Amino acid sequence: MELSSVKQRFGIIGNAPALNHALSTAVQVAPTDITVLISGESGVGKEVFSKILHQLSRRKHGKFIAVNCGAIPEGTIDSELFGHEKGSFTGAFEARQGYFETVNGGTIFLDELAEMPLGTQARLLRVLESGEFIKVGSSKVQKTDVRVITATNVDLLDQIKKRRFREDLYYRLSTVAIQIPALRERPGDIPLLFRRFAVDFAERYSSQPVQLDADAQEILAGYRWPGNIRQLKNVAEQMSVLAPYRLVQGNEVRRYMPLESVQRTLPVALGLPIGSEDMSERDILYKVLFDMKKDIVELKQVVARLMQSAAESGLEMPNQADIDHPTDWTRPEPPTRKVDGELYQGPAEIVARPMPRSVVFEDQPAVEDIEENFSLEEVERRMIDKALRKHSGKRKYAAQELGISERTLYRKIKEYGMEEG
């Protein structure tokens, strides 16, 4: 089957080589009963690939069920998957069939596999190897014929090292592994996806579809998209509803992008938006240091411009020796002279030497102040005090300035015993 027809049938948009390779692999293994492990970040479309594997197999007329292992409590996941007998645990008022029993002859898709408890992993391994399982509270072995497709958004090999995932189960599940690329790895597909979403939302909301100019497309293509296709779809929906004009320009598209879309060099943990309640003291320190570095860079640029201006005007600038030893600028070496036929070096009248022209900045910290080693608490206290003074004690705007929530700022104020004014 050609990839183009598969894309059209299942609504897959894009021509990135990595996407085509993943799709080609899925089409090849679909007719078999091979267990498939689908890997990829959250929001890349792993469930769509599981449906492709089911619909193109001989089990397409059988049942298909998708199970999110991370959404089922650890105490009930065995019952959900394998069923239970009446009275097997508190609240088990009647017997219940599990998914592996009800989907017999079909396909079961286990998403977020890494969240599955170790005990359940052992039960799953038995199903994969022998097709046998035992209900919770029962001693009777039952058989099932189910094709298992799994998916994960974490590194299972790393989970194996941490003893959170069984190594034997990993090799049993990864007979064929399909890696779905993240959206940022296929930037050429982003305009195509956006156009598709815009048309869909235009039909839903009875409006004209929004379009992007060249700058807007470039901004979307350069963003990291941590939420992948799901996040792009949300942005397209916002624009479809809120954009005042149907042609969205580059300067306007930023309004619909999340805060982290701004290019930052801060080593803040990924997925932690500015202003989050969970923003740690370390993240605050990184922001403080980044702002301090930015101020120093701007100060250097000002100094360089002033020095260049002075040089063009023919003014003499101090050399490095004058800067390192400023006491030499006003007091010369005592003169040597003859007194009664002998050389004598002693105090004489002070010879006035003009101060070399230098740049003086008012209200600017000295170099020693910039390089002074502050503790984390002192840096935080100073920046909080600075932000509060700048915004006349208004915590809301001071918190926005610092990139933290008002609750975190209020806690810091109480912790350091600071006055809000």
Return the higher-pLDDT residue of 376 and 179.
179
330 has pLDDT over 50: no
Categorize the per-residue pLDDT at 263 as very low, low, confident or very high, splitting at 50, 70 and 90.
Answer: very low
Return the higher-pLDDT residue of 113 and 337.
113
Phi, psi of 96 (to 5 degrees): -140, 140
What is the rounded average pLDDT of the residues 58-78? 93
108 has pLDDT over 90: yes
Buried b (16+ CB within 10 A) or exposed e, 222-240: ebebbbbbebbbebbbebb
- For residues 345 and 325, give the distance between their C-alpha atoms in angstroms, rounded to a whole number: 22
- For residues 291 and 297, give the distance between their C-alpha atoms in angstroms, rounded to a whole number: 10
- For residues 194 and 185, give the distance between their C-alpha atoms in angstroms, rounded to a whole number: 16
What single-letter DSSP state applies at residue 312? H
Element (H, E) at 101: helix 99-102
Query: And the tokens for 312?
Result: 């063009």
pLDDT at 366: 43
The structural domains of the chain, ordered by start, are: 3-181 (3.40.50.300), 184-261 (1.10.8.60), 275-309+360-421 (no CATH)
Categorize the per-residue pLDDT at 301 as very low, low, confident or very high, splitting at 50, 70 and 90.
Answer: confident
What is the rounded average pLDDT of the residues 122-147? 94
Return the higher-pLDDT residue of 280 and 159.
159
- For residues 289 and 270, give the distance between their C-alpha atoms in angstroms, rounded to a whole number: 18
372 has pLDDT over 50: no
Range with the lowest mean pLDDT among 168-182, 219-233, 271-285?
271-285
pTM (predicted TM-score): 0.61
Range with the lowest mean pLDDT among 15-29, 345-359, 406-420?
345-359
**Measured distance between the N- and C-terminal CA atoms of the chain, rounded to whole angstroms:** 71
What single-letter DSSP state applies at residue 335? P
What is the rounded average pLDDT of the residues 45-68? 96
CB 243 within 8 Å of CB 210: yes
How many C-beta neighbours within 10 Å does residue 36 have?
24
- 283-300 pLDDT, tens digit per residue, is 566 566 666 766 777 777
379 has pLDDT over 90: no
Interaxial angle between packed helices 3-10 and 46-55, expressed in degrees from 0 to 180 and rounded to the nearest 10: 110
CB 193 within 8 Å of CB 14: yes
Provide the 3-class DSSP secondary structure of residue 203: helix
**Residue 297, Cβ density class (10 Å: 0-12 exposed, 13-18 middle, ≥19 buried):** exposed
Q: DSSP characters for 138-161? A: ---EEE---EEEEEESS-HHHHHH
Range with the lowest mean pLDDT among 165-174, 276-285, 305-314, 361-370?
361-370
pLDDT at 340: 53
pLDDT at 315: 59
Q: Count CA atoms within 13 Å of residue 297 on its CB side.
A: 6
pLDDT at 236: 95
What single-letter DSSP state applies at residue 332? P
Return the higher-pLDDT residue of 193 and 385.
193
Phi, psi of 109 (to 5 degrees): -110, 115
* CA neighbor of 32 nearest in space, from 134, 207, 176: 176
**Residue 35, Cβ density class (10 Å: 0-12 exposed, 13-18 middle, ≥19 buried):** middle
279 has pLDDT over 80: no
Give the residue carrying structure tokens 């007719």. Answer: 31
Q: Where are the alpha helices (DSSP H) in 259-354?
A: 281-312, 320-324
339 has pLDDT over 70: no
pLDDT at 171: 95
**Residue 207, Cβ density class (10 Å: 0-12 exposed, 13-18 middle, ≥19 buried):** middle
CB 348 within 8 Å of CB 335: yes
- 78-91 pLDDT, tens digit per residue, is 999 999 998 888 88
